[in-house]
Protein backbone atom coordinates (compact mmCIF):
# COMPACT_ATOMS: atom_id res chain seq x y z
CA UNK A 1 0.00 0.00 0.00
CA UNK A 2 2.74 2.48 0.98
CA UNK A 3 4.68 1.51 -2.14
CA UNK A 4 1.62 2.26 -4.26
CA UNK A 5 1.32 5.72 -2.69
CA UNK A 6 4.97 6.48 -3.51
CA UNK A 7 4.55 5.16 -7.06
CA UNK A 8 1.47 7.31 -7.69
CA UNK A 9 3.19 10.44 -6.36
CA UNK A 10 6.24 9.72 -8.47
CA UNK A 11 4.13 9.40 -11.62
CA UNK A 12 2.26 12.63 -10.83
CA UNK A 13 5.42 14.69 -10.33
CA UNK A 14 7.16 13.13 -13.34
CA UNK A 15 4.17 13.99 -15.55
CA UNK A 16 4.05 17.56 -14.21
CA UNK A 17 7.79 17.96 -14.63
CA UNK A 18 7.59 16.68 -18.19
CA UNK A 19 4.69 18.99 -19.02
CA UNK A 20 6.60 22.03 -17.76
CA UNK A 21 9.87 21.03 -19.37
CA UNK A 22 11.09 23.05 -22.34
CA UNK A 23 13.75 21.76 -24.68
CA UNK A 24 16.45 19.30 -23.67
CA UNK A 25 16.15 17.67 -20.29
CA UNK A 26 18.59 17.96 -17.44
CA UNK A 27 18.11 14.99 -15.15
CA UNK A 28 17.77 15.22 -11.38
CA UNK A 29 17.53 12.01 -9.42
CA UNK A 30 16.97 11.50 -5.71
CA UNK A 31 16.23 8.61 -3.42
CA UNK A 32 13.99 8.51 -0.35
CA UNK A 33 13.65 5.29 1.58
CA UNK A 34 14.81 3.17 -1.40
CA UNK A 35 12.28 4.80 -3.78
CA UNK A 36 13.95 6.66 -6.64
CA UNK A 37 12.40 9.59 -8.48
CA UNK A 38 13.60 12.11 -11.05
CA UNK A 39 12.58 15.38 -12.68
CA UNK A 40 13.61 17.70 -15.50
CA UNK A 41 15.36 20.84 -14.34
CA UNK A 42 15.90 23.06 -17.36
CA UNK A 43 12.84 25.27 -16.82
CA UNK A 44 11.71 27.27 -13.77
CA UNK A 45 8.44 25.35 -13.61
CA UNK A 46 10.25 22.02 -13.62
CA UNK A 47 12.59 23.22 -10.87
CA UNK A 48 9.61 24.21 -8.72
CA UNK A 49 7.95 20.86 -9.37
CA UNK A 50 11.16 19.04 -8.43
CA UNK A 51 11.42 20.93 -5.14
CA UNK A 52 7.76 20.36 -4.26
CA UNK A 53 8.07 16.71 -5.25
CA UNK A 54 11.16 16.24 -3.09
CA UNK A 55 9.43 17.80 -0.07
CA UNK A 56 6.24 15.77 -0.53
CA UNK A 57 8.11 12.51 -0.94
CA UNK A 58 10.32 13.34 2.02
CA UNK A 59 7.24 13.77 4.21
CA UNK A 60 5.56 10.66 2.81
CA UNK A 61 8.78 8.69 3.34
CA UNK A 62 8.91 9.88 6.95
CA UNK A 63 5.27 8.86 7.43
CA UNK A 64 6.00 5.39 6.06
CA UNK A 65 9.05 4.97 8.27
CA UNK A 66 7.22 6.28 11.33
CA UNK A 67 4.18 4.06 10.78
CA UNK A 68 6.10 0.86 10.25
CA UNK A 69 8.56 1.36 13.11
CA UNK A 70 5.65 2.29 15.39
CA UNK A 71 3.94 -0.99 14.47
CA UNK A 72 7.09 -2.98 15.23
CA UNK A 73 7.49 -1.14 18.55
CA UNK A 74 3.93 -2.17 19.41
CA UNK A 75 4.96 -5.79 18.77
CA UNK A 76 8.00 -5.34 21.01
CA UNK A 77 5.72 -3.90 23.71
CA UNK A 78 3.45 -6.94 23.58
CA UNK A 79 0.48 -4.96 22.31
CA UNK A 80 -2.12 -6.36 19.96
CA UNK A 81 -1.34 -5.29 16.41
CA UNK A 82 -3.25 -5.37 13.15
CA UNK A 83 -2.61 -4.17 9.62
CA UNK A 84 -3.77 -0.74 10.75
CA UNK A 85 -0.94 -0.63 13.29
CA UNK A 86 1.49 -0.23 10.39
CA UNK A 87 -0.51 2.61 8.84
CA UNK A 88 -0.62 4.94 11.84
CA UNK A 89 2.35 7.32 11.61
CA UNK A 90 3.25 9.59 14.51
CA UNK A 91 5.73 12.39 15.18
CA UNK A 92 6.21 12.87 11.44
CA UNK A 93 7.66 16.36 11.87
CA UNK A 94 10.36 15.16 14.26
CA UNK A 95 11.08 12.16 12.04
CA UNK A 96 11.59 14.49 9.05
CA UNK A 97 13.90 16.80 11.03
CA UNK A 98 15.91 13.94 12.52
CA UNK A 99 16.18 12.26 9.12
CA UNK A 100 17.41 15.47 7.51
CA UNK A 101 20.03 16.06 10.23
CA UNK A 102 21.30 12.48 10.03
CA UNK A 103 21.24 12.60 6.23
CA UNK A 104 23.24 15.83 6.10
CA UNK A 105 25.80 14.57 8.63
CA UNK A 106 26.14 11.27 6.78
CA UNK A 107 26.52 13.03 3.42
CA UNK A 108 29.23 15.30 4.80
CA UNK A 109 30.97 12.25 6.23
CA UNK A 110 30.74 10.41 2.91
CA UNK A 111 32.26 13.43 1.18
CA UNK A 112 35.17 13.21 3.64
CA UNK A 113 36.58 9.94 2.28
CA UNK A 114 33.50 7.75 2.99
CA UNK A 115 34.66 6.28 6.32
CA UNK A 116 33.41 9.23 8.43
CA UNK A 117 30.02 8.83 6.76
CA UNK A 118 29.89 5.15 7.65
CA UNK A 119 30.79 6.02 11.24
CA UNK A 120 27.96 8.57 11.39
CA UNK A 121 25.58 5.98 9.93
CA UNK A 122 26.51 3.46 12.61
CA UNK A 123 26.24 5.87 15.54
CA UNK A 124 22.88 7.27 14.38
CA UNK A 125 21.29 3.94 13.46
CA UNK A 126 18.81 3.98 16.37
CA UNK A 127 17.80 7.65 16.00
CA UNK A 128 14.30 7.20 14.57
CA UNK A 129 13.50 4.15 16.69
CA UNK A 130 14.49 6.00 19.87
CA UNK A 131 12.60 9.11 18.79
CA UNK A 132 9.37 7.15 18.33
CA UNK A 133 9.82 4.86 21.32
CA UNK A 134 10.51 7.63 23.84
CA UNK A 135 8.88 10.59 22.07
CA UNK A 136 12.21 12.41 21.92
CA UNK A 137 13.19 15.61 20.16
CA UNK A 138 15.40 15.05 17.08
CA UNK A 139 18.67 16.12 18.74
CA UNK A 140 17.91 14.08 21.86
CA UNK A 141 17.15 11.06 19.67
CA UNK A 142 20.51 11.41 17.92
CA UNK A 143 22.28 11.68 21.29
CA UNK A 144 20.43 8.61 22.55
CA UNK A 145 21.47 6.58 19.52
CA UNK A 146 25.07 7.76 19.90
CA UNK A 147 25.14 6.71 23.57
CA UNK A 148 23.64 3.28 22.87
CA UNK A 149 26.18 2.55 20.14
CA UNK A 150 29.09 3.97 22.15
CA UNK A 151 28.31 1.73 25.11
CA UNK A 152 27.68 -1.37 22.96
CA UNK A 153 29.86 -0.74 19.93
CA UNK A 154 30.71 -4.34 19.05
CA UNK A 155 27.11 -5.53 19.12
CA UNK A 156 25.85 -2.38 17.40
CA UNK A 157 28.42 -2.75 14.62
CA UNK A 158 27.42 -6.39 14.09
CA UNK A 159 23.76 -5.37 13.95
CA UNK A 160 24.54 -2.63 11.43
CA UNK A 161 26.48 -5.05 9.23
CA UNK A 162 23.69 -7.65 9.33
CA UNK A 163 21.10 -5.03 8.35
CA UNK A 164 23.37 -3.77 5.57
CA UNK A 165 23.82 -7.27 4.13
CA UNK A 166 20.09 -8.03 4.28
CA UNK A 167 19.23 -4.74 2.55
CA UNK A 168 21.92 -5.31 -0.10
CA UNK A 169 20.66 -8.82 -0.87
CA UNK A 170 17.11 -7.51 -1.11
CA UNK A 171 18.20 -4.77 -3.51
CA UNK A 172 20.10 -7.25 -5.69
CA UNK A 173 16.97 -9.33 -6.20
CA UNK A 174 15.64 -6.80 -8.70
CA UNK A 175 14.38 -4.67 -5.83
CA UNK A 176 11.55 -7.14 -5.14
CA UNK A 177 13.58 -8.62 -2.30
CA UNK A 178 13.28 -5.29 -0.48
CA UNK A 179 9.64 -6.14 0.24
CA UNK A 180 11.01 -8.75 2.62
CA UNK A 181 14.36 -7.16 3.46
CA UNK A 182 13.09 -3.79 4.72
CA UNK A 183 10.58 -5.22 7.26
CA UNK A 184 13.23 -7.70 8.43
CA UNK A 185 15.81 -4.93 8.84
CA UNK A 186 13.38 -2.87 10.93
CA UNK A 187 12.55 -5.87 13.12
CA UNK A 188 16.26 -6.46 13.75
CA UNK A 189 16.82 -2.76 14.41
CA UNK A 190 14.02 -2.51 16.98
CA UNK A 191 15.08 -5.74 18.69
CA UNK A 192 18.72 -4.61 18.91
CA UNK A 193 17.69 -1.16 20.11
CA UNK A 194 15.60 -2.57 22.95
CA UNK A 195 18.25 -5.09 24.01
CA UNK A 196 21.20 -2.69 23.83
CA UNK A 197 19.33 0.12 25.59
CA UNK A 198 18.29 -2.08 28.49
CA UNK A 199 14.67 -2.21 27.38
CA UNK A 200 12.52 -5.30 27.02
CA UNK A 201 11.11 -7.26 24.11
CA UNK A 202 7.79 -8.97 24.70
CA UNK A 203 7.35 -12.71 24.36
CA UNK A 204 4.59 -14.26 22.29
CA UNK A 205 1.79 -13.76 24.85
CA UNK A 206 3.06 -10.93 27.04
CA UNK A 207 1.69 -8.07 29.07
CA UNK A 208 2.33 -4.66 27.45
CA UNK A 209 5.78 -3.31 28.26
CA UNK A 210 6.91 0.29 28.81
CA UNK A 211 9.41 2.04 26.51
CA UNK A 212 13.11 1.49 27.12
CA UNK A 213 14.80 3.54 29.85
CA UNK A 214 15.97 7.07 29.11
CA UNK A 215 19.67 7.50 28.54
User: Measuring CA to CA, how many Å separate 82 from each of 58, 62, 74, 129, 182?
Assistant: 26, 20, 10, 20, 18
Residue 19 shares a structural domain with residue 79: yes
Residue 32 pLDDT = 47
Is 131 within the bounds of a domain? Answer: yes
Residue 68 shares a structural domain with residue 130: no
CA 204-155-80 angle, to 5 degrees, is 20
Residue 73 shares a structural domain with residue 127: no
Range of the domain at 169: 122-197
CA distance 194 to 159: 12
Residue 58 pLDDT = 83
Is 109 within the bounds of a domain? Answer: no
Residue 84 shares a structural domain with residue 126: no
Residue 80 shares a structural domain with residue 126: no
Residue 152 pLDDT = 97
Residue 10 pLDDT = 54
Q: What is the number of structural domains in the chain? A: 2
DSSP string, 64-130: HHHHHHHHHHHHHTT----GGGGG----HHHHHHHHHHHHHHHHHHHHTTSHHHHHHHHHTTTHHHH
Q: What is the mean pLDDT of each run of 10 residues along the chain (215 residues)?
A: 49 58 50 47 66 80 91 91 88 94 91 91 96 96 97 97 92 80 93 92 62 59
Is 71 within the bounds of a domain? Answer: yes
Residue 1 shares a structural domain with residue 77: yes
Using the 3D structure, point to which of 90, 110, 136 is the last residue of a domain. Answer: 90
Is 191 within the bounds of a domain? Answer: yes
Is 211 within the bounds of a domain? Answer: no
CA distance 88 to 173: 29
Is the pTM for the entire model greater than 0.85? Answer: no
Amino acid sequence: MWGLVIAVLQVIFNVLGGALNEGDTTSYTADEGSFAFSYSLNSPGAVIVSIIGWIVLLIVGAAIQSAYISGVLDIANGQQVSIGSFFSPRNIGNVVIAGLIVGILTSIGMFLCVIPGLIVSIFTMFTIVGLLDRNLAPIDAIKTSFNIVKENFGQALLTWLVMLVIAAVGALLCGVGLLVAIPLVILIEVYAYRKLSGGQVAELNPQPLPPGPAR
